[in-house]
Amino acid sequence: MSTQHTLVVLARCGYAARGVLYLIIGIFALLAAQDSTKPKDSHKSLEALLSQPFGHVLVGLVVAGLLAFAGWRILQATRDVDHHGTTLKGVVIRAGLLAGGLVNGALAFFALGLLISGVRSSGHSSGGQTKDLLADLLSWEHSNLLIYLMALVPFGVGLAHIIKGWRASFEKYLEADEEVMRCIRPVSRFGLIARGVVFIEIAILLTLSGSRYQAADPPGMKEALDALQNLPAGALILMVMALGLIAFATYSFCEAAWRKINMDVPGVASSY
């Protein structure tokens, strides 16, 4: 198997791993809308996955997939394999891809910690280290300004997802025939917009409650879904967003199957 083909396979596995995570989060959110449980974020979803039969094998596969996805995102950012260019818009998109790669890499190492240490010990040690680091960082004077800057990241990601879903610009990256696209187009648009809304809500939570999160972890997807659940008609809103996250998982699986993946590997023709 050529180097390029191996990288393509790893990238597709990464998209599939992202789909698995969002499928689990969406299912938990859907159950929460029916008062069966509380929404969970990606960390809690990995812990729940680990508790299932053959959970260690499943989490191991997700770890491998997330590492592959993180590597693919970093390649997208550094090699510009999707040809975003060096304009301001292109640089912003590539910076977002790089940030996504780092986040998925961190999530993969969290999951790896679960495998090595077990759910309880890993949860305490990793969470403690994260809180200590964040507390030190946010103990600086005027640290709220740093929180506002941090909020720009999920806000930008969320806005980009909404625009991508509304314009259906993702289609140019998919190599599926029109019959297939007629099925996956509305699902993908719904999923991208739903994920965008959740990310923008995370940014709003960061902005409105900067001091509240100085001594603890910053708000994430779980907090965003919890906030939706507490709104008037929250159960209905949460159900819609849960279906949206499941739709985003479907979109991720479609990317795993049909995405155009151009690997700019020196000495190897890029024809995928």
Is residue 20 a contact partner of residue 69, using CB atoms and an 8 Å limit?
no
What's the rounded mean pLDDT across residues 199-214? 72
What's the rounded mean pLDDT across residues 114-128? 50
Contacts of 198 (CB under 8 A, 6+ apart): 158, 221, 224, 225, 241, 245
What's the rounded mean pLDDT across residues 63-73? 86
What percentage of the chain's residues is helix, strand, coil (to nearest 5)? 80, 0, 20
For residue 199, tell me if it sits in a domain: yes
> Is residue 13's pLDDT more than 80?
yes
> Is residue 217's pLDDT more than 90?
no
User: E strands within the chain?
Assistant: none
Alpha helices in 141-214 (DSSP H): 143-167, 178-208
Reduce the DSSP state of residue 1 to 3 states and report it. Answer: coil
For residue 267, tell me if it sits in a domain: no
Local confidence band at 81 (pLDDT 50, 70, 90 cut-offs): confident
Local confidence band at 131 (pLDDT 50, 70, 90 cut-offs): very low
- Copy the structure tokens of residue 47: 């812990």
For residue 265, tell me if it sits in a domain: no
Give the range with max mean pLDDT: 36-45, 89-98, 141-150, 201-210.
89-98
For residue 32, tell me if it sits in a domain: yes
How much is the pTM? 0.77
Amino acid at 56: H
pLDDT at 47: 67
pLDDT at 89: 84
What's the rounded mean pLDDT across residues 206-230? 66
- Copy the structure tokens of residue 175: 């190599």
What's the rounded mean pLDDT across residues 199-208? 83
Local confidence band at 188 (pLDDT 50, 70, 90 cut-offs): very high
- Copy the structure tokens of residue 221: 């997807």
Residues in the chain: 272
For residue 245, tell me if it sits in a domain: yes
Q: How many domains does the chain have?
A: 1
Percent of the chain topping pLDDT 70: 71
The CA-to-CA distance between both ends of the chain, in Å, stands at 14
For residue 269, tell me if it sits in a domain: no
**DSSP output for 206-259:** HHHTTGGGTTSPPP-HHHHHHHHHTSTTHHHHHHHHHHHHHHHHHHHHHHHHHB
What's the rounded mean pLDDT across residues 37-58? 65
Residue 253 structural domain: 3-258
> Distance of CA 149 to CAs 143, 145, 211, 224, Å?
10, 6, 14, 18
For residue 272, tell me if it sits in a domain: no
For residue 38, tell me if it sits in a domain: yes
- Copy the structure tokens of residue 84: 């975003």
Percent of the chain topping pLDDT 90: 21
> Is residue 150's pLDDT more than 80?
no
What residue has token string 């280290």? 129
Query: pLDDT per residue over 26-47, tens digit each?
Result: 888 888 777 655 566 666 666 6
Of 247, 228, 217, 263, the residue nearest 79 (C-alpha): 263
Amino acid at 270: S
Question: 10 Å Cβ neighbour count for 269?
Answer: 9
Query: pLDDT per residue over 156-174, tens digit each?
Result: 889 989 999 999 999 988 9
> Is residue 143's pLDDT more than 70?
no
Local confidence band at 233 (pLDDT 50, 70, 90 cut-offs): confident
